[in-house]
Amino acid sequence: MREPQRMPTGRLPREVTIYEVSPRDGLQNESSIIPVEIKAEFISRLVAAGLRVIEATSMVPASWVPQLADVEQLLDTLEMAGGVR
Q: How far apart are CA 68 and CA 60, in angstroms?
A: 7
Domain boundaries, the chain: 24-77
Does residue 19 contact residue 53 with C-beta atoms inside 8 Å? Answer: yes
- In degrees and rounded to multiples of 5, residue 68 shows phi and psi of -110, 15
pTM reported for the whole predicted model: 0.78
Q: What is the pLDDT of residues 17-55, one digit of tens each?
A: 889 999 999 999 999 999 999 999 999 999 999 998 999
Does residue 74 contact residue 42 with C-beta atoms inside 8 Å? Answer: no
Does residue 56 contact residue 45 with C-beta atoms inside 8 Å? Answer: no
